[in-house]
Amino acid sequence: MNNLPSAITLCEVGLRDGLQNEKTLLPTEKKVELLRGLIDAGFKVIEVGSFMHPKAVPQMADTDEVYKALGEVPGVELRALIPNLRGVKRAVDCGCKKVKLNVSASRQHNLKNLNMTPEQSVAGFADCVKEAQANGIAISGSISMPFASPWEGRIPLSDIESIIEAYLKVGIDEISLSDTSGMGVPNQVYEMCARVREKYPQASWWLHFHNTRGLAIANILAAMEAGMTQFDGSFGGLGGCPFVPNAAGNISTEDVINMCDEMGIETGVDIVKVMELSRTMRDLLGHDLDSYILRAGRAKDLIVS
């Protein structure tokens, strides 16, 4: 493990990817309170919510109000997921300065739901990029299920490269590889990350892993060894993907921070504050969360001097 980074950047996605699957609808003021807590804990990148249609994702219906209530926070990137051009316009209206588009790497899934290939979907994002740029809004892209999908199994690397090139063609060069199906394995993750870093040096990469089969931490470590330094996490391990069968929650942010703290990899985030926020979220939602550190505590807290 000689290739590990000295520091990584974590994006907290619990308020979006975590809450979108919960039956409990948190009030706007509570979301703002949690968001302030995440900022205080040291996160410099946070996914606040999404601008999906409220009927499709009612948990995210108040994302506009959350942005308006918080306002701009210097030095912190507050991003939101968008589905289309209307999402960009909502971002403009509420003061959101960073939006993210998403496409499925599964051709079968994309053709069935949108009657388009993934590449055609990305080409259709050109208007979103133009509108975002005209309004001073940064824009990134995500590829969900790049490692494997429940419909095809393993996705060929050539298919992922084709989607990456479609993103670059429309002017999006920050790209997230998002294992929403939780089917990625470490050697595959290492190979893909090493390959895309070498082939597309102009791109900035994020990795987003779900812990569906207990491999998210191993996959993060494999991605680090391949040179990746930007990762998503969800406090408490909240979330999952409503569109993928049996897709359990995201990797717990505090589990990632704990690993990094123990290995001497800087995150800039206070794990104690994150754990407290996860306990608050557990109480608000009324059920246990999928976080090892929340259950067991930090190893260093067990040591009696």
Average pLDDT of 110-134? 94
Identify the CA nearest to 104 among candidates 158, 133, 141.
141
Q: To 5 degrees, how large is the angle CA 202–CA 204–CA 208?
A: 145
What global pTM score does this model have? 0.95
**Where does the pLDDT of residue 112 fall: very low under 50, low under 70, confident under 90, or very high at 90 and above?**
confident
Residues 235-254: tens digit of each pLDDT: 999 986 555 555 567 999 99
Largest Cα–Cα separation, the chain: 63
What lies within 8 Å, CB to CB, of 205 at 6+ separation is 174, 175, 176, 177, 193, 196, 197, 228, 230
Q: Show the domains of the chain with their CATH numbers.
A: 9-301 (3.20.20.70)
Q: What is the pLDDT of residues 139-195, one digit of tens each?
A: 999 999 999 999 999 999 999 999 999 999 999 999 999 999 999 999 999 999 999
CB 262 within 8 A of CB 224: no
pLDDT tens digits, one per residue of 188-233 = 999 999 999 999 999 999 999 999 999 999 999 999 999 999 999 9
The number of residues making up the chain comes to 305
pLDDT 10s digits, 48-100: 999 999 998 999 999 999 999 999 999 999 999 999 999 999 999 999 999 99
Predicted pLDDT at 241: 57
CB 177 within 8 A of CB 208: yes
In this prediction, residue 26 carries a pLDDT of: 96
Average confidence score pLDDT of the chain: 94
Neighbours of 265 (CB within 10 A): 17
Place of tokens 């051709």: 107
The catalytic residues are 241
For 19, which DSSP code? G
Burial environment of residue 219 by CB neighbours within 10 A (0 to 12, 13 to 18, 19 or more): buried
What's the CA gap between 100 and 136, in Å, rounded? 14
The answer to whether residues 212 and 270 touch, using CB atoms and an 8 Å cutoff, is no
Rounded CA separation 185/253 (Å):
19
